[in-house]
Amino acid sequence: MNLFFEEDGAFKVGTEKSSTPSACQVELPTGKRIKAKRSHILITFENPSPTEFLRCAQEEAETIDVDLLWEFSPEGDFTFGAIANEYYGAAPTAVQKAAILLKLHANPVYFYRKGRGSYRKAPEETLRLALAAIERKKEQERVKDEYVREITEEHKAPEAITAKAIELLTKPDKNSLEWKAVKEASDKISTSPLRMLLNVGAIKNAWHWHVDSFFTVNFPHGKNFPGNLGTPPADVHEELPISDAVAFSIDDSETTEIDDAISVTPLDNGRTRVGIHISAPGLGITHDSPIDLAARERMSTVYAPGLKTTMLPKNWIEAFTLDEGKASPAVSLYAVVDNETFSVISTETRLERVRVEKNLRYDLIADKVTEETIKSGSLDVPFSSEIIWLWNFAKVLLKNREEVRGRPEPVGRIDWYFSLKGEDENAEIELKGRRRGDPLDLLVAEMMIFANCTWGAWLEERGTAGIYRSQRAGRVKMTSVPGPHDGIGVPYYAWSTSPLRRYVDLINQRQIISTLKGETPALRSNDSELFSIISLFDSNYSAFNDFQSRMSRYWSMRWIEQEGIKEVKASVVKGDLVRVEGLPMAQRVPGLPELPRGQSVLMRVLNLDYVELVMECSLVKVLDETHEDDFDDEIEQEEEAGEKLSADSEEGENQTAAVENQ
């Protein structure tokens, strides 16, 4: 006797060899013998052979119209044998019964299985919706296949994929047909989705990939500000007294967010009053206001060569930036200093208006402000006497910090950066540098460090919560707990001098303003909101710094290409990590022999990969020179140097970010 039965969810045929009341031993067409339960046997037959029976049943099932079968089916549960009688209109053969069963089983949309050999037809409305869904899926599959064909055969990107190319890579919906097409096509031609989308023009070029992917991830609502942020209050500072200080600022020509200015006022008895004046957006940006929440979402201005995305809208920046000729609201730190020893006798913090006499531009006067012109008295720039006094004061502040640090600041090395004419990969690139420790760099940096240190202590003394940067035998971290910054050599350090560009500075400034006014500050040291701000700032600032570092690397490679450079000099930092001389770029060189830190090497440029930002190079020779001074404690001091580089200018901010990110 031959049997048609179900086993493990599949229909099988075989010949009965022996049996018991509950089971049979069945020999399959392959010769294998298995045990089949009596309850699993659906059809018995003598002829044809099991193999032929199954073939004929499958062929017959192909001829059955499933829609007609559904029409013939009764309401409620039914067996395959009963519907076979209805469908064929006479006693069906064993093959026909098996064909009906195969058809029922193969169409779960039309027929619901209710037991072995039993089914129930789907309700008409349910069936209609299910069939429509199947048709949609077939159409989507057809569209997906067409996308794959266009990419792999015509080497062009479908419009639907081009429109969301960046999102497909940064935050893909893996159920979308566009993603499925991209994945299938990239697998088919054995390349990464990113490389493929670049090759077919869905992403214009590597520059667009790096920039657009960054903003897609970090600015999901776009770079533009929402329209409900209001306008800066016009009378926010009318009641403030006007300072008698004659102030000036020092920033790069491109700087639009002028946060800080300085004044130097001679006093009697061999003393001088130095003023550090910080723009006061904290007067107009109130806690939890729409503009405050917008700034909190960003946490910082984003810098990269040729790019700047501000933390605040243009109209809010213009309302508080310290432009020359304007009396602007400011939080001022005054220090009375002894002219002979340059020791600080007293400090005072005031909320006032400050008239900035001049916005000096670093790039226009830096070559005139040298140690030689300062020492010889031949300095010929606006506010030359004030700059000379500030330089001498800054030298003393630096010396005091170095004594606490236990080692000198890393000075003398040039921090390189790019000025671009244009924006995308076709921009003309100009390489510029700023030497650490040059007079203007030194005096501005030391004034800001002095202010951040003093205000950190000021907040602590008054029991006012603040956000500090501290370092004790480890990396620098943001914290609400006052503590020393060993790397800089100060007992407290609270960023407060860039409130137009960093949200942490804005928070600290508002805390200072509230305390000065005798009001209760918006945040307390144990507020969960304060910890949330610290966490989000760390996350955003790290992402922004990483972006700036990657774009500096991109433009370094573009500059190498622009200048037609085939070989570069580099200095060993540690292991196979080298720093390319004359560029803001570090590079790993696999296989580089073990060399001492600071050892100069000559590298041959083999390939520039702008997508992965990898410069493939090989060692030409080890040079007979080292740069030990440049690399003394390099790794440990990178972040410390970054604090000093912040000089509160845009380019200083760029350098700080690049250094702190390493």
Q: At residue 29, does pLDDT exceed 50?
A: yes
Mean pLDDT of 91-115: 93
The DSSP element (H or E) to which 572 belongs, if any, is: strand 567-574
What's the DSSP call for residue 47?
Answer: S
Burial class (CB in 10 A: 0-12, 13-18, 19+), 321: buried
Confirm if 248 and 440 have CB atoms less than 8 A apart: no
Say which residue, 119 or 624, is predicted with more confidence: 119
Ranges of beta strands (E only) in 92-208 are 111-115, 118-121
Q: How confident is the model at residue 587 (pLDDT cuts 50, 70, 90)?
A: confident
Q: Which of 57-71, 422-436, 473-487, 509-523 has the lowest mean pLDDT?
A: 422-436
Q: What is the pLDDT of residues 164-177, one digit of tens each?
A: 999 999 999 988 99
Say what the pLDDT of residue 632 is: 39
Q: How confident is the model at residue 50 (pLDDT cuts 50, 70, 90)?
A: very high
- Residue 405's SS3 state is helix
Q: What is the pLDDT of residues 410-434, one digit of tens each?
A: 777 888 888 888 767 788 898 988 8
Q: What is the pLDDT of residues 179-195, one digit of tens each?
A: 999 999 999 999 999 99
Q: Residue 328 half-sphere exposure, CB side, CA atoms within 13 Å?
A: 30
Closest-CA residue to 635 (of 552, 579, 584)? 579
Q: What is the pLDDT of residues 268-282, one digit of tens each?
A: 999 999 999 999 999
Q: At residue 646, does pLDDT exceed 60?
A: no
Say what the pLDDT of residue 227 is: 85
Q: What is the pLDDT of residues 503-544, one digit of tens each?
A: 999 999 999 999 999 999 999 988 999 999 999 999 999 999
Q: What is the pLDDT of residues 326-351, one digit of tens each?
A: 999 999 999 999 999 999 999 999 99
Mean pLDDT of 549-576: 93
Q: What is the mean pLDDT of the chain?
A: 89
Angle at which helices 94-106 and 80-88 cross, to 10°: 110
Residues whose CB is less than 8 angstroms from the CB of residue 224 and which lie 6 or more positions away in sequence, other chains included:
none
Q: What is the pLDDT of residues 73-85, one digit of tens each?
A: 998 999 999 999 8
CA distance 617 to 636: 27
For β-strands 477-479 and 468-470, DSSP reports them as antiparallel
Say what the pLDDT of residue 183 is: 94
Confirm if 483 and 468 have CB atoms less than 8 A apart: yes
Mean pLDDT of 114-128: 92
Residue % of the chain over a pLDDT of 90: 75
